[in-house]
């Protein structure tokens, strides 16, 4: 059997450029990305001093002033065609934005076995907030996981696979932290732009009654169901749909047939702003809209859209230049 080859593609930008580059890639159908951000790197160093005595200065220099987005394409005709689309889109972005750093794209070739080893090494058990413990499924028996569960943590088991979110990005961590403060038990949850299903599955693990999840990428349906199964959650409690609630009126109408105690949207500002017009039709009277994926320089635009559509911002959380907003009706 011939080994599959992959292209590991890097785009160098800066913190400001992360959102527009990620939005550009999403528009091209590339949603499974790894984000390396200087601000998150420095935050990691500052918050984990007990684990190291020395940090290589070359590594600091490499990360200084740089943020990088990495994604993977299969090294075949479709992959190279997609790479061409990315090059064209990057050139267009350079013409309209001069604040996104170099936007330099580089790539490496990987064998299938290399790919498996490369991506798995980045995922470790992560404690988030006061209650959650995100666990890669191959580390269920890790001593740190056992210790966390013994201390009362709630396990959220995921198979990161090749795409979608795993909880490592600041925006997802903001949402998960907010979730454990919001879920009391018995809630109905709607997760818009669900990706791996991490947020809605976490809500169910924390005690929510049912959840509906939606993503524009059809591949997310299987991924989310597989992650739900890893946590013992069946389709009697969890429904995943593929579609775009902004353009598909039929889907939007179906979702609005019931009201939800919690609506989640960890996407980007350019999607959250128009989406905010639909949220009042989806929320229970005392429900909460939790949105994240918002770079700090655009948070005011999202807040204005929420207020314009009848929502009141009740809580703002920030981490590494990213913002999560909680809002309610009225």
Q: What stretches of the chain adopt beta strand conformation (E)?
A: 5-13, 33-37, 67-74, 104-111, 126-128, 132-136, 154-158, 188-192, 210-215, 238-242, 260-266, 283-295, 311-319, 322-329
Are 302 and 315 contacting, i.e. CB atoms less than 8 angstroms apart?
Answer: no
- CA 41, 46, 52, 58 torsion-angle sign: positive
The pLDDT profile of the chain, 330 residues, written as one tens digit per residue, is 455 678 889 999 988 899 899 989 988 888 778 888 765 544 544 444 444 444 444 544 554 556 889 988 888 788 888 888 898 889 889 888 989 988 988 887 766 555 555 556 656 788 888 999 989 888 888 888 999 899 999 999 988 653 445 556 778 889 999 999 999 999 999 999 998 899 999 999 999 999 999 998 888 899 899 999 999 999 999 999 999 999 999 999 999 999 999 999 998 899 999 999 999 999 999 999 999 989 888 999 999 999 999 999 999 999 878 899 999 998
Instruction: Quote the tokens at residue 64.
Output: 């200084």
Instruction: Quote the tokens at residue 325.
Output: 């907003």
Q: If you search the block for the tokens 């590494």, which residue do you land on?
A: 320
Give 315's strand partners.
Answer: 326
* Distance (Å, whole) CA 215 – CA 210: 17
Are 101 and 32 contacting, i.e. CB atoms less than 8 angstroms apart?
Answer: no
Are 314 and 182 contacting, i.e. CB atoms less than 8 angstroms apart?
Answer: no
- Among candidate residues 327, 328, 308, 329, the one with its CA nearest the CA of residue 316: 327
| Residue 245 confidence (pLDDT) | 94
Domains and CATH numbers, the chain: 5-120 (3.30.70.260), 170-329 (3.40.50.150)
Instruction: Quote the tokens at residue 12.
Output: 């160098």
| Residue 126 confidence (pLDDT) | 84
| Residue 64 confidence (pLDDT) | 55
Instruction: Quote the tokens at residue 252.
Output: 């939007």
Give 111's strand partners.
Answer: 5
* Distance (Å, whole) CA 312 – CA 307: 6
Residue partners of 91: CB distance under 8 A and separation at least 6: none
| Residue 52 confidence (pLDDT) | 42
Bridge pairing between strands 322-329 and 283-295? antiparallel
Q: What is the 3 state secondary structure string of 247-262?
A: CCHHHHHHHCCCCEEE
Q: How many other CB atoms sit within 10 Å of the CB of residue 200?
A: 31
pTM higher than 0.75, yes or no?
A: no
């Amino acid at each position: 059997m011939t080994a599959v080859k992959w292209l590991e593609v890097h785009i160098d930008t800066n913190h400001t450029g992360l959102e527009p580059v990620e939005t550009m890639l999403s528009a091209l159908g590339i949603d499974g990305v790894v984000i390396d951000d200087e601000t998150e790197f420095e935050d990691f160093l500052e918050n984990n001093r007990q684990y190291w005595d020395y940090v290589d200065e070359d590594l600091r220099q490499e990360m200084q002033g740089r943020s990088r987005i990495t994604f993977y394409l299969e090294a075949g005709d479709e992959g190279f065609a997609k790479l061409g689309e990315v090059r064209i889109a990057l050139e267009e972005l350079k013409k309209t934005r001069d604040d996104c750093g170099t936007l330099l794209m580089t790539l490496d070739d990987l064998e299938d076995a290399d790919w498996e080893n490369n991506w798995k090494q980045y995922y470790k058990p992560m404690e988030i907030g006061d209650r959650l413990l995100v666990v890669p499924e191959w580390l269920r028996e890790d001593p740190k996981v056992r210790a966390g569960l013994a201390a009362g943590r709630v396990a959220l088991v995921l198979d990161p696979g090749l795409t979608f979110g795993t909880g490592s990005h600041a925006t997802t961590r903001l949402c998960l932290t907010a979730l454990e403060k919001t879920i009391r038990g018995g809630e109905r949850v709607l997760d818009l732009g669900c990706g791996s299903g991490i947020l809605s599955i976490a809500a169910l693990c924390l005690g929510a009654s049912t959840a509906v999840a939606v993503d524009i990428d059809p591949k997310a349906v299987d991924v989310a169901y597989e992650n739900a199964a890893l946590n013992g959650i069946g389709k009697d409690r969890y429904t995943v749909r593929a579609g775009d609630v902004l353009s598909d009126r039929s889907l939007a109408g179906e979702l609005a047939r019931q009201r939800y105690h919690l609506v989640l949207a960890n996407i980007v500002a350019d999607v959250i702003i128009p989406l905010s017009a639909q949220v009042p039709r989806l929320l229970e009277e005392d429900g909460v809209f939790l949105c994240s994926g918002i770079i700090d320089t655009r948070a005011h635009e999202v807040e204005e859209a929420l207020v314009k559509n009848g929502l009141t911002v009740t809580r703002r959380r920030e981490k590494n230049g990213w913002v999560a907003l909680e809002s309610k009706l009225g």
